[in-house]
Amino acid sequence: MKVRLEDGLPYVTVVLSYRGQQVSLEKVLLDTGSAGTIFSTDRVLTVGLTMTPQDTIRRVRGVGGTEFVFTKRVDRLALDDFGLDNFEIEVGAMQYGVELDGILGVDFLTRVGAVIDLAQMKVYSTPQKDRNNADNRQ
């Protein structure tokens, strides 16, 4: 998957599947400084994903203040040829002063064994047999 630099930040396109519907999210930040993966409330509403009464909620505390998010399991989250099924995402207003559809955090990147290659401007997934991180060790 190609990585695009915009205003000095690396972005990828992600396909999110939820209850038989798919949405392609074009401005998703690759962020090794974020533990979690989050998507914008407005963007995921296009596949019918919204908050339900018993969803887990969190408070994300950052430099610019705090925000409220809820969590949801999506059927699949994928970059063109690799991804994860039944993956938990956070959903929030994402008002960070930069227009974004979402953030791919370390939880997702670790579980796919992501390699971010900024020389080739590509991100790819390490084959399962060659992984040796905590989440993938067998």
Partner 1 sequence: MKWEEIRRRYPDQWLLVEAIKAHSDAGKRIVEQLSVVSEFPDSIAALKDYAQLHREAPKRELYVLHTSREGLDIAERTWLGIRSAG
Which residue, 9 or 85, is less far from partner 1 as judged by CB? 9
Question: CA 124, 37, 86, 131: dihedral to nearest 10 degrees?
Answer: 40
7 versus 130: smaller Cβ distance to partner 1: 7
In terms of DSSP H, where are the helices of 9-124?
41-44, 106-111
CA atoms of 75 and 100, how far apart (whole Å)? 22
CB-nearer residue toward partner 1: 18 or 78: 18
Q: Which residues bind partner 1 (CB under 8 A)?
A: 6-9, 29, 31, 33-36, 41-42, 45, 50-54, 56-68, 70, 93, 95-98, 100
Q: In angstroms, what is the minimal distance from the CB of 61 to partner 1? A: 5
3-state SS, residue 34: coil
Q: How far is the CB of 112 from partner 1 (least distance, A)?
A: 20
Q: How far is the CB of 128 from partner 1 (least distance, A)?
A: 28
Locate all alpha helices (DSSP H) within the chain, ordered by sequence: 41-44, 106-111
| Choice between 85 and 121, CB closer to partner 1 | 121
Which residue, 95, 128, 91, 94, is CA-closest to 16? 91
